[in-house]
Structure 1
């Protein structure tokens, strides 16, 4: 097994960048030389730009890599409007404009795979290549309702959180371990993941969870025309792998890649495998 070691924080938060809805903090690495197009990384529900640091370290030598804290997550304050995947897509394109990114590769993880899909459909000329990591979808109305209920339970749990939870090692190890196939021995990784989860704005958590069963996502996926890579993790307990092939089926110009013995955070749990798959597609 690969060692689960996060790099030293060589990519501290920068900003904020002011967009139409408020400030957005981000991390950035400047590739020298910039051989490839910029890569924009979107974290998932309950996360932040922090867990993209291994990806920035691995791919940042020959391209600009930028990872924002989306509104309501990490250090960025929530949207003034409703935090749906479609509204967040508009925020991301505004952020890209402010960062001077005319065209870029886009990688959306988990919930933000939907954000990336909406962005690619609305602004296809801006996205060179699209990557959807640990994404799943429903194959029937019954599955859609299950997905919706699971996210509502997670959002309800957010309302019950308390500051002391982050100080109790067995508690945060138990919660954070759900995101991994094999729980990392490094407490710092689990603690950081849990703290990001605890920081999520409660209204943002509820609004984004409510859009998990969005009926519009299937037509949006079917409208994507960008070259797309769908990456699934076989032991993902957050986004059911059973729905991942359906995503690849809906997106016309896509291919599906699986990472074995891996949970919901392949950039941390299986970084060498994940980054090799990612680099081969982008390059």
Structure 2
């Protein structure tokens, strides 16, 4: 059964954080587990995680502002601002302590949050996260963001209905691209839907030198889940991130691309469950 065809145990809910509407999904009971999607995603790609871990966790996946069904914040948006908003979101839901899982770009968001509020985050997971090892790599990241900015300007809503577009773009995110066109079309629609300014500014903030400083300040037990065939996050930077975090376990999923919760859900959710238990 594909993620797209999973029963939706967690329909969208809505709240307001500091005056900003936030959409989210919630399912299960136990220790709260906050899931933060990556750049271009939404809470929808966590549906399998909500369904699988709900017997042990109160699993909560939000749409960051400017993504999914959450409108963009007024003004500028950076990774650190998003971390503050996620913490305020946890306050709004009355979560005194929680486990935290940030995927891809939001690994940096999760690192900011964990470093700033060590008493709030019990365990931290960074999924498909990578960092820059030196100034040259940081500048390369900046150049990638300029290309992404151009792509943001060229996208059009009708592309979501063209099989060539959503399969071509999706192929970069998987080791083996799923045959499920509904899933790929849904994910591509999330990409097309995100707010342009939010997308550009949040992507640019992923090269912020403060990310590496935050990694070194994380105090809680941490696990980084890397994918051997991730074409989005360079694997050398994943090793570097694991070295920076004082109490960190690094595990790898073989034959997997950038979205292990979709491509290798059994392996991915087993790693999560074991670490958080």
Q: TM-score, normalised by structure 1?
A: 0.95
User: Do the aligned residues in 2 keep the contact of 1:107 with 1:132 (CA within 8 Å)?
Assistant: yes
Q: Does the C-alpha gap of structure 1 residues 110 and 162 become closer, same or farther in structure 2, counting only changes over 3 Å?
A: same
**Cα distance between partner residues in 2 of 1:187 and 1:111:** 25
Task: Using the TM superposition, give the Cα deviation of residue 155 of structure 1 relative to its aligned residue in structure 2, in angstroms.
Answer: 2.4
**Cα distance between partner residues in 2 of 1:214 and 1:175:** 26
Q: Determine helix, strand or coil for the equivalent of 2:41.
A: coil
Instruction: Return the match for 2:34 from 34, 37, 40.
Output: 40
Gaps of 5+ in 2: none
Q: 1:175 — aligned with what?
A: 169
**Cα distance between partner residues in 1 of 2:270 and 2:28:** 20
Instruction: Return the match for 1:18 from 16, 20, 26.
Output: 16
**Cα distance between partner residues in 2 of 1:258 and 1:63:** 23
64-73 or 173-182: bigger deviation = 173-182
Task: Using the TM superposition, give the Cα deviation of residue 21 of structure 1 relative to its aligned residue in structure 2, in angstroms.
Answer: 4.1
Task: Using the TM superposition, give the Cα deviation of residue 4 of structure 1 relative to its aligned residue in structure 2, in angstroms.
Answer: 4.4
Instruction: Return the match for 1:144 from 126, 135, 138.
Output: 138
Write the deviation string for residues 238-263 of structure 1: whole angstroms up to 9, x where unpaired. Answer: 11112101000000111100000000
Instruction: Return the match for 2:265 from 245, 252, 271.
Output: 271
Task: Using the TM superposition, give the Cα deviation of residue 30 of structure 1 relative to its aligned residue in structure 2, in angstroms.
Answer: 2.6
Write the deviation string for residues 75-119 of structure 1: whole angstroms up to 9, x where unpaired. Answer: 101112321110000100110011111100000000000000000
Write the deviation string for residues 106-138 of structure 1: whole angstroms up to 9, x where unpaired. Answer: 000000000000001111100000000000011
Gaps of 5+ in 1: none
Task: Using the TM superposition, give the Cα deviation of residue 5 of structure 1 relative to its aligned residue in structure 2, in angstroms.
Answer: 4.1
Pairwise CA RMSD: 1.1
Q: Determine helix, strand or coil for the equivalent of 1:212.
A: helix
Q: Determine helix, strand or coil for the equivalent of 2:206.
A: coil
Task: Using the TM superposition, give the Cα deviation of residue 218 of structure 1 relative to its aligned residue in structure 2, in angstroms.
Answer: 0.9
Please say if 1:245 is aligned against 2:239. yes
User: Do the aligned residues in 2 keep the contact of 1:151 with 1:212 (CA within 8 Å)?
Assistant: no
Q: 2:108 — aligned with what?
A: 114
Q: 1:185 — aligned with what?
A: 179
109-118 or 3-12: bigger deviation = 3-12
User: Do the aligned residues in 1 keep the contact of 2:3 with 2:47 (CA within 8 Å)?
Assistant: no
Deviation beyond 2 Å, 4+ runs, structure 1? 3-6
**Cα distance between partner residues in 1 of 2:182 and 2:237:** 31
